[in-house]
Amino acid sequence: VSKSSFIMDHHVANHWAHQIHERTGFARGDLPIPYLGAPLYKGHLSHELFIDVRQRMIDRISGWSHRHLSFGGRLALIKCTLCTLPLHLLAVLDPHQSTIHELDQILARYFWKYSEGSRGRRQTHWVKWDSICRPHSEEFRFVFWAFGPAIQTFHLCPPIINIDGTHLR
């Protein structure tokens, strides 16, 4: 009962909400609410709906020590772990470009953090972040991990791997 709630329009009289609460024991809730990892909301899609994804990404990054990882190690963590967090949400919702840009900036800041030998000095970035986000071979042209292309992958591209692990052509 403590996890359950009911939602009513704000125009409904309070005595109806009170009766429902007394009979069911459920508390009255407000939108947006999380459901299966995605927010249920009414109205326009707002930037605030993605705060949970942003915070989960920051929490995951803060648990890793970037000083003991090479650039390749950080890149592997970004590709394998961080980019899988919001993909289901980005596939269901169509976020604003500003939201995608903000999530992308979190990943870029983690990747380009100062290394142990820099002593707080800014390092030269030898490769653009956009170049890192590109697929590395023609064979994997539909396998994207940056957020913008990930949305396109879910909505436009056919799957490239069957459930049994065989590749599609």
**Over 80: is that where the pLDDT of 51 sits?**
yes
Q: Which residues contact 92 (CB under 8 A, 6 or more apart)?
A: 38
> What are the phi and psi torsion angles at 144 (to 5°)?
-110, 155
Give pLDDT, residue 168. Answer: 45
Section 120-143 average pLDDT: 54
Question: Token pair for residue 100?
Answer: 């995608």
pLDDT, tens digit, 9 for 90 and up, residues 134-162 = 555 443 333 334 454 555 544 444 444 44
Q: Which residues contact 17 (CB under 8 A, 6 or more apart)?
A: 6, 8, 28
> What are the phi and psi torsion angles at 100 (to 5°)?
-60, -40
Give pLDDT, residue 120. Answer: 53
Section 52-70 average pLDDT: 77
Q: How confident is the model at residue 35 (pLDDT cuts 50, 70, 90)?
A: confident
Q: What is the mean pLDDT of the chain?
A: 70
**Spatial separation of the C-alpha atoms in residues 95 and 110, rounded to whole Å:** 22
DSSP collapsed to 3 states, 1-16:
CCCCEEECCCCCCHHH
Among residues 132, 143, 117, 138, the alpha carbon closest in space to that of 72 is found at: 132
Give pLDDT, residue 107. Answer: 80
Give pLDDT, residue 22. Answer: 93
